[in-house]
Structure 1
Amino acid sequence: MTKTLTTVWALAVASVTAAAGSMAQAQQIQGSAKAGEGKIAMCIGCHGIQGYQASFPEVYKVPMISGQSAPYISAALQAYKKGERRHPTMRGIADSLSEQDMADVAAYYAEHGQARAAAAAREPSAQVAALLQKGACVSCHGEGFAKPIDPSYPKVAGQYADYVYAALKSYKVENNAHVGRSNGVMAGIAKQFSNSELKALSRYIASLDGELQTVPQPHFRLGKKD
């Protein structure tokens, strides 16, 4: 247990150090929420519809991103563009975006979802509490899974359980050109757990109150014209 947590913390420190360098560079590009509103045409077809489900690589609800932090959204898009996150649709979208586009889109979604405030975390069951301790999850994702220690880490409180489960499993995938995520910290954590344990963690995270939401887009109101 001690050895596992020490390894996780060592990886986390290395990741934060690397992220700090990346963020310093990213901070030179200021995102504009107003500009971002005109750049989300490829996003709203999935992220602008309540409960919309992806069908690849499995069926799950696409994540809520309104209210997510701008640095995290930018970092995620960069990861898709670099192939560190492997998903053909998201890779294609990210490839079409410049760094300024990413910053603008990220600023839009970060500002777009601030109507809800995070509430106190619910107490986990004994099983989930043991899993959370084993993974040292709050050491990065913060109090109530809504206050990450680094803005390039995601808020996950209240996120869809099936998406969280799919995301966690993806860190366990190796040698697949189309599916999976490359992240030393998260891979090391996710591989400690069975899929049933990851599902239990995902259900708990989804039960928490947080800032994430899907804000329906007027573009999809039937009978309306732009």
Structure 2
Amino acid sequence: MNKLFTTIFAVAVSCATAASLAQEIKGDAKAGETKNAMCIGCHGIKGYQASFPEVYKVPMISGQGAKYITAALNEYKKGERKHPTMRAIADSLTDQDIADLAAHYSADGAGEPAKAATEPSTEVKALLAKANCASCHGDNFSKPIDPAYPKIGGQHADYLFVALKAYKTENNPKVGRGNAIMAGMAKQYTNAELKQLANYLASVDGELKTIPQKKFR
């Protein structure tokens, strides 16, 4: 089963990469810093919690890969990720706005690379191996094999748990993520197991940060 998923991933990566190269728009990090007014109210406040679809810390996006941020915003824009607030924000952005914001947040707070991950428990190690998470999200879960995939090492546990559950959600107009590959991965686990994975991934040293806007500091 893992070999099948790996093959599907490889095909998806090659197709997505070819498409992105053909349509790539160059982002300007300085321009992005002037366009993030709708972002900083949540992503620029340390410990800020969202309340939909349940209470959880909003994800850290400073230091995240630019291509992943671009992909995520476009998925919200297309409705492939169902979140009313994020979709409304994404709908208001042009392709250039998205590229500029992605460039800004990927560069914002960039620093030392993540350290080696701590050894997981035997139980968590088995859960990680079940979907071979590191094969796509990379060393320490901070070096994805494709830049359109997210860094997840050190991300907030409660956010990761909500995100993983969203891949399992079907036929809900307001909750869910339309990535068939991740859905196949997430559906292998119970919610209790997803929580274990999320807690471990949050515990490793990562490259993601929450950097307050200057006026919030």
Q: TM-score, normalised by structure 2?
A: 0.97
Equivalent residue, structure 2, for 1:128? 124
Deviations 1:47-77 (A, max 9, x none): 0000100001100000000000100000000
How far the C-alpha of 1:26 sits from its partner, in A, is 4.1
CA contact (8 A) 1:33 1:111 kept: yes
Determine the C-alpha separation between the residues in 2 that align with 1:191 and 1:99. Answer: 32
Deviations 1:11-42 (A, max 9, x none): 21222122212321343x10000000110000
How far the C-alpha of 1:165 sits from its partner, in A, is 0.4
Q: Which runs of 5+ in 1 are unaligned?
A: 222-226
Letter in 2 for 1:13: A
Deviations 1:137-192 (A, max 9, x none): 01100011010000000001100000000000000000111110011110000000
Deviations 1:56-106 (A, max 9, x none): 110000000000010000000000001110000000000000110000000
Equivalent residue, structure 2, for 1:152? 148
Determine the C-alpha separation between the residues in 2 that align with 1:141 and 1:107. Answer: 20
CA contact (8 A) 1:11 1:184 kept: no
Q: Is structure 2 residue 187 aligned with structure 1 residue 204? A: no
Of residues 8, 14, 19, the one that matches 2:16 is 19
Q: Which runs of 5+ in 2 are unaligned?
A: none
Q: Is structure 2 residue 3 aligned with structure 1 residue 6? A: yes
Of residues 25, 28, 32, the one that matches 2:28 is 32
Structure 1 segments (4+ residues) deviating >3 Å: none
Residue identity over aligned pairs, in percent, reads: 61
Alignment of 1:40-119 (within 5 A): 40-119=36-115
- Equivalenced residue count is 217
CA contact (8 A) 1:40 1:105 kept: yes
Equivalent residue, structure 1, for 2:182? 186
Deviations 1:118-149 (A, max 9, x none): 10111010000001111110110001101000
Letter in 2 for 1:21: A
How far the C-alpha of 1:9 sits from its partner, in A, is 1.1
Alignment of 1:169-184 (within 5 A): 169-184=165-180
Q: RMSD across aligned C-alpha pairs, in angstroms?
A: 1.0
Determine the C-alpha separation between the residues in 1 that align with 2:88 and 2:22. Answer: 23
Equivalent residue, structure 2, for 1:165? 161
Aligned to 2:38, the other structure's residue is in SS state coil
How far the C-alpha of 1:115 sits from its partner, in A, is 2.6
Judging changes above 3 Å, is the alpha-carbon distance between structure 1 residues 75 and 26 closer, same or farther for their aligned structure 2 residues? Answer: farther
Letter in 2 for 1:83: G
Determine the C-alpha separation between the residues in 2 that align with 1:150 and 1:166. Answer: 23
Determine the C-alpha separation between the residues in 2 that align with 1:26 and 1:143. Answer: 29
Q: TM-score, normalised by structure 1?
A: 0.93
Aligned to 1:43, the other structure's residue is in SS state helix
Letter in 1 for 2:163: A
Determine the C-alpha separation between the residues in 1 that align with 2:75 and 2:135. Answer: 22
Aligned to 2:88, the other structure's residue is in SS state helix
